[in-house]
Amino acid sequence: MAANKSQGSYLAVFWAAITVLCAGIAYLATGFGILVMLIGLAGVAVSLVGFLKIKVLEGKVPEMKGSTPLKLMGIAVALGGWFVTIAGLHLTTSTGGRLIFALAGIVVSLVGVLGVLPVAFGKPVTGKAEAPAYMTAKATVGSGR
């Protein structure tokens, strides 16, 4: 997550600030909760400004070639799994029915994340490994004996 000391420092500030922000939201009804929430918001803002400040030190990010519509479809399928799960809460009141909808939603989300998105970024589908180049080279060298 953090490749250098600056990134690590700002990441630690971000996680601490987001925790303080959540605590402030939890106790928003009290005066102290509002103060804690404002401190958390300030910490998140400081960390985000720090991230933007050190972004220029990272260098050029390589472009990922891939189909934009396929990327959007992968995101839609992954989010569709959540909609299946939420729809199950409204369609049935039985525990077994909700369990089936939840499992179906997990499967749909996994298809989006592990099946569609890797293909959109030009990688093989997760779980189906390509033969490494050194394996084919070794096979051709070994067959000459």
Taking only the tens place, the pLDDT of each residue in 113-138 is: 988 888 888 777 666 666 555 555 55
**What's the average model confidence in pLDDT over 76-85?**
93
Q: Are 97 and 91 in contact (CB under 8 A)?
A: yes
The residue from 13, 38, 58 where one domain ends is 58
Number of domains in the chain: 2
Distances (CA, A) of 16 to 10, 59, 137: 10, 27, 50
Report pTM.
0.50
Domain carrying residue 53: 5-58
**Residues 83 and 132 placed together within one structural domain of the fold:** yes
**Residues 69 and 53 placed together within one structural domain of the fold:** no
Residue type, 11: L
Q: Are 114 and 125 in contact (CB under 8 A)?
A: yes
Q: Are 107 and 81 in contact (CB under 8 A)?
A: yes
**Residues 119 and 85 placed together within one structural domain of the fold:** yes
**Residues 48 and 81 placed together within one structural domain of the fold:** no
Q: How far apart are CA 54 and CA 6, in angstroms?
A: 7
**Residues 80 and 128 placed together within one structural domain of the fold:** yes
pLDDT of residue 141 exceeding 70: no
With CA atoms as reference, report the closest residue to 42 among 53, 54, 32, 34.
Answer: 34
Q: What mean pLDDT is reported for the chain?
A: 83
**Residues 41 and 82 placed together within one structural domain of the fold:** no
**Residues 54 and 73 placed together within one structural domain of the fold:** no
What proportion of the chain, given as a percentage, has pLDDT over 90?
Answer: 49
**Residues 89 and 25 placed together within one structural domain of the fold:** no
**98: its two tokens:** 């909700």
**Quick one: DSSP state of residue 128?**
-
**Residues 86 and 141 placed together within one structural domain of the fold:** yes
Q: How far apart are CA 121 and CA 114, in angstroms?
A: 12
**What's the average model confidence in pLDDT over 86-106?**
94
Q: How far apart are CA 25 and CA 45, in angstroms?
A: 16
